[in-house]
Amino acid sequence: MEIKKTLDESQHYIMETYKRFPVIFTKGRGMKLWSIDGKEYLDFLAGVAVDVLGHCHPKAVVAIQKQAQRLIHISNFYHNEYQIKLAKLLVKHSFGDKVFFSNSGAEANEAAIKLVRKYFNDRYSGQRTEIITALNSFHGRTMACISATGQTRLQHGFDPLLPGFKHILFNDIEELKKATNERTAAVMLEPIQGEGGVRVPSEDYFKEVRRHCDQHGLILILDEVQTGIGRTGKLFAYEHFGIEPDIMTLAKGLGGGVPIGATIAREEIARAFEIGSHASTFGGNPLATATALAVVETVIEDGIMLSECKRMGAILIDSFLGLKKNFPNIIVDVRGMGLLLGMELTRECSQVVQACFERGILINCTAQNTLRFCPPLIIKEEDIERLISVLNEVLTRLS
């Protein structure tokens, strides 16, 4: 009765922008979550690719505890040692030269969009303002970001959208070439389309995109909000494709559960942001950056974490392909990279998600018919065995 009362209060007092499951989680460790009534769940969603180290990883917890006792927040009018250390670490291990910190992926992408506009307005007086993005992309929920997002269902009801965005087919270089004109400023893409159904591009696509941007003086923005911080088996997904972007955005896994976003850019482009041209009250505060520093250092310094991510991802893919062979009438495709994987079904997949939830397995549905799996990087083979057992049971019932 107490649980029902709490759920009723949630519905009464909180805006209904989420279709929530009837559960209240109160504790987490590693791959596991426990509800208020003591039921145990295996988390293959990881807060939507956020909890890269799992729930309550000791290094993250200690970083939070220590920093909370020292200093939680100051204004960006003052220097913050952990912000500096985190920026230095991200620059050292990426293509970039300068970092701007915010609170989320949407804010990181907003900063990238503003940086492109400022850079080209300074040079071309408003003649080059358009940003090309992909159909089925997802870049966030702010007005600029849903305008950049290539999914009309997410834009419905928010007209008028912001001008200056053009959407093309993902993984089609000819589409990009046709869409480019004298007003084009940048190309903004996800290395893997997460919300769009875990779509992985062909091997040479990003090399061709990079070449096209170089030929036409375009800025290449890679939205690594979902793919960054080890999710694909490398620290950043762009490393798989043999190219470097000009701007990269991060969030989700960066803080391991503590809200933080980052926009990383090359020096020449970063200089377009001058004092007062962009800001964020909470962006990169001491608590968030101390935690993110611990998370990123752990991913980098743990010698086996990224290799285990690849290995566990390969085991998952093989297991999913086994299910596809057994259920050809239900499973259309299996795809992904590292521990960002999708299983496309012949039907809308919410029923499968619900059935797995009832059996203590947390996954989710994206692009309406694709099951998304993005577990913590600390996943073990026994966790995979449990998942496959539940999926086999659920799919057997469906078939």
Average pLDDT, the chain: 97
What is the predicted pLDDT for the residue at 302?
A: 83
Measured in whole angstroms, the distance separating CA 350 from the mean position of its chain's CA atoms is: 21
Query: How does pLDDT run across 118-143, given as a tens digit for each residue?
Result: 999 999 888 999 999 999 999 999 99
Q: In whole angstroms, give the CA distance from residue 38 to residue 26.
A: 9
pLDDT, mean of residues 338-346: 98
What is the predicted pLDDT for the residue at 2?
A: 84
What is the predicted pLDDT for the residue at 125?
A: 85
Query: How does pLDDT run across 269-299, given as a tens digit for each residue?
Result: 999 999 999 999 999 999 999 999 999 999 9
Q: List the domains of the chain with CATH numbers.
A: 2-57+303-398 (3.90.1150.10), 71-301 (3.40.640.10)
The H helix count followed by the E strand count for the chain is 14, 15
pLDDT, mean of residues 321-342: 98
* Secondary-structure percent of the chain, ordered helix, strand, coil, rounded to 5: 40, 20, 40
Q: Please identify every residue annotated as catalytic.
A: 138, 223, 252
**3-state class (DSSP) for residue 69:** helix
Measured in whole angstroms, the distance separating CA 289 from the mean position of its chain's CA atoms is: 18
Task: Identify the DSSP state of 252.
Answer: G
Query: How does pLDDT run across 35-94, given as a tens digit for each residue?
Result: 999 999 999 999 999 999 999 999 999 999 999 999 999 999 999 999 999 999 999 999
Q: In whole angstroms, give the CA distance from residue 322 to residue 315.
A: 11
What count of Cα atoms within 13 Å lies in the side-chain half-sphere of residue 188? 37
| Better-predicted residue by pLDDT, 148 or 304 | 148
Q: Which amino acid is at 366?
A: T
pTM: 0.97
Q: In whole angstroms, give the CA distance from residue 254 to residue 88.
A: 14
> What angle in degrees, to the nearest 10, is found between the helix axes of 81-92 and 286-301?
30
- Residue 228 pLDDT > 80, yes or no? yes
DSSP string, 338-379: TTEEEEEESS--HHHHHHHHHTTEE-EEETTTEEEE---TT-
Q: Which two tokens stand for residue 343?
A: 């299983």
What is the predicted pLDDT for the residue at 303?
A: 75
What is the predicted pLDDT for the residue at 1?
A: 56
pLDDT-based confidence at residue 173 (cuts at 50, 70, 90): very high
Which residues touch 99 (CB under 8 Å, ≥6 apart)?
A: 86, 87, 90, 91, 262, 263, 264, 265
- Residue 10 pLDDT > 80, yes or no? yes
pLDDT, mean of residues 314-342: 98
- Residue 16 pLDDT > 70, yes or no? yes
Which residues touch 291 (CB under 8 Å, ≥6 apart)?
A: 60, 63, 64, 67, 255, 256, 258, 260
What is the predicted pLDDT for the residue at 399?
A: 84
pLDDT, mean of residues 333-360: 97
pLDDT-based confidence at residue 243 (cuts at 50, 70, 90): very high
Is the peptide bond prior to 160 cis by the omega test (within 30 degrees of 0)? yes
The helix or strand, by DSSP H or E, that contains position 314, with its residue range, turns out to be: helix 305-326
Which residues touch 257 (CB under 8 Å, ≥6 apart)?
A: 47, 50, 51, 55, 60
